[in-house]
Every structure is written in C-alpha cells, then in structure tokens.
Amino acid sequence: MKRPIAKKKRKPRLLWTKADISMLKALVRETEKTTVVARKLKRTVRATQQKASMLGVRLGTSPRKRKA
C-alpha cells in the first residue's frame, strides 16, 4: 500500500499596500540592491522585480565604474 504524498503548505499571498509601494520607490531612489529591497519589504526578489516593472520603476541600476 502506497503512502500519500505530503503537500507543501503555501504562504498566504501578500497584497501590495500603498505603504509597501511608497517604501519600494523610496528604496529605489536610494539605489539599494534588489536583494536588499526585497528583504526590507519581506518579499521575494522576483516579486519585487515584477512590482517595480509594473510601476515603471528602474530597479537594481547603479552607475558602473569604468576600468582604467
């Protein structure tokens, strides 16, 4: 007799509040890394990237240093 496969429990889906969106925009203005922004918002990197894309916010861009 086979044992049933245990199902993984999913986290409940978090909706984006106005406070989350304003915090995202503020962190992007400070040119924080994507991983740092996601951690501060308590969301995944991919979710943060998608929301920034939907809002038209450039995420994870910083001026690059040129090699001499």
Kindly report the pTM of this predicted structure.
Answer: 0.69
User: φ, ψ for residue 52 (rounded to 5)?
Assistant: -60, -40
**pLDDT per residue over 36-68, tens digit each?**
999 999 999 999 999 999 999 888 765 566 666
Q: pLDDT category, 16, cuts 50, 70, 90?
A: very high
Report d(CA 68, CA 59) in Å as an integer: 27
Cβ burial of 17 (10 Å; 0-12, 13-18, 19+) is exposed
